[in-house]
Structure 1
Amino acid sequence: MPKREDQSKFHPEWRTDLIYFVISHLLIQVTGVLVQLPAALAFKNIGLEGVQSAVQSIHFIPQLFLALLVSDLFQYSGHYIFHKIPYLWRFHSVHHSTQHLDWLAGSRTHFVDLIAVRAISFIPIYICGFSYSVFATYIVIVSFQAVLAHSNTRINFGWFKYVFVTPQFHHWHHSDNPAAYDKNFAIHFPFIDMIFGTYYPMGKEWPESTGLGDVEFPKGFLRQFVQPFKKPDSNKIMKNPSER
């Protein structure tokens, strides 16, 4: 049920995005699970035993929602910073360069961006001492929601779009429409953007197109990996769209 019916599943960027999917999506999520136990042990004796015990005493479902909220608040902050600091935007612009937004393209994230924002999201979860079952479930939800939020689907989520991030919400974050620049940063809960004034009032509308506008971004995984490290020039690639 594609939203953009003229968009091929094998568009010109799919091979590049498949590489990103393996590295940025699968590998990082598995790594997050593998380091959970040593991370939990490392943060066990930092003077927050009371907080960690209180968190672990919460029943599974509310503890899971708390984990999602804590993660999203920190992720929102990291995501916002990568948009606002020019040097960091160089790395984050890789993620925004896709013009064929779908479930696979959502994994297109530069390694520097990926490690920084995932650390900002994961470390608070480790520090708070959430149970392993909650963390494992959290990883599954994050994995599926990241795929869903970027997917090319016209499924109508109705009122659900005001509770959890849906494709329509996140596609506006990728829009090349100036009115939507630096909006909809949250990954799980739209109300976070509502609270901080970065929510885009999308109604029933979808963006006409996504990407970096008229910028010609390098093609291919290796070229995109190197691009942010190059000395900036007059090319608009290195600028946040809102600064052009």
Structure 2
Amino acid sequence: MENLLQLLRLMEEYTDRIFPVAALLLAAEIFFPKSRYSYISKLRGAIFCVANILITKASLTLFYWLWAGIGIKPLFEIDLTFLTRFSNAWPLHALGAIAASFLVLQVSEFFYYWFHRLQHSSRFFWRFHAEHHSLEEMSAFNSNHHFSEEIFRIPFLIIPVSLLFDFKQDYVPWIWVFFVRWQGYFEHSSTRLNLGWVRYIFPDNRFHRIHHSIERRHFNKNFGSGSAIWDILFGTAYYPGAKEWPDVGLPNIREPRNLTEFLVRPFRRGKPG
């Protein structure tokens, strides 16, 4: 009973963080639309999101409990506190904290970038990732990955980073926490609001839409989620023109229409096309 209550508290904390962000982006999609999608798809996406929260939070809570019990120490301890200690002046101190958080993000994104490429090249992983790419009415709410993807990230992302690095930071600025919370939803949003030149560092909705494009010239581009840097370095970055806003989806897999289809369909098929 105690464990169940703890899980419910974690879910409540998670939804408290996520849904206000998605609601703000929903307002942006309504008042500053780039594509107009049905409210049914947004509601359906919200239901899928709740299911993802239930499954992934339970899985990750179990993993972190087991990982803490193993007690394996990382290979490298990297002290980034020097970035905040060279000056007591508030602006420089805050900039140092943001720089430290940015460096930590790049390490995580490096592993995510290559895992994401694996999802597109592996028949096994694509069958699950295809659920995300099947979205035809992609928006902030309707942007869910299949729950299995979060579980696959444990061996391909979380464990490697945990085994290799232990980053020491003085603190993580609230503005950085806010950015990380909304960025993953914003990059899937259908609003004409975008990050402009900042997308050369952080992917926005125009950058990431290319990754979901149905046009062949856009295939295997823009794999990064929290960072565009690895796409640039490995030659997969594609920056859209001013009027470039392609349709999204997959030609032979339609967007899931109900929760059962969303959860079960990947287990019933192989790689499309």
Out of 206, 210, 213, the residue aligned to residue 168 of structure 1 is 206
For 2:138, the aligned partner's letter is L
Please provide the CA RMSD for this pair.
3.3
- TM-score by structure 2 length? 0.70
The answer on 1:69 being equivalent to 2:106 is yes
Corresponding residue of 1:20 = 48
Q: How many residues align?
A: 228
Out of 143, 146, 150, the residue aligned to residue 110 of structure 1 is 146
Distance 1:66 1:40 in 2: 24
The answer on 1:89 being equivalent to 2:123 is no
Q: What are the superposed Cα offsets for residues 18-58 of structure 1, whole Å, 9 maximum, x if unpaired? A: 12322436874798699779857855535x2xx32535655
Structure 1 residues 85 and 217, CA, compared in 2 at 3 Å: closer, same or farther?
same
Corresponding residue of 2:28 = none
Corresponding residue of 1:45 = 73
Answer yes or no: is the 8 Å Cα contact 1:20–1:109 preserved in 2: no
Answer yes or no: is the 8 Å Cα contact 2:48–2:262 preserved in 1: no
For 2:151, the aligned partner's letter is I
Answer yes or no: is the 8 Å Cα contact 2:79–2:167 preserved in 1: no
| Percent of paired sites with the same residue | 28
Distance 1:94 1:185 in 2: 16
SS of alignment partner, residue 99 of structure 2: helix
Question: How far 1:219 sits from its partner (Å)?
Answer: 2.1
The answer on 1:7 being equivalent to 2:37 is yes
Matches within 5 A, 1:141-180: 141-180=179-218
Structure 1 residues 145 and 32, CA, compared in 2 at 3 Å: closer, same or farther?
farther
Corresponding residue of 1:196 = 234
Corresponding residue of 1:235 = none
The answer on 1:181 being equivalent to 2:181 is no
Structure 1 residues 175 and 68, CA, compared in 2 at 3 Å: closer, same or farther?
same
For 1:7, the aligned partner's letter is Y
Q: Mind listing any 5+ residue stretches in structure 2 that lack a counterpart?
A: 1-31, 85-96
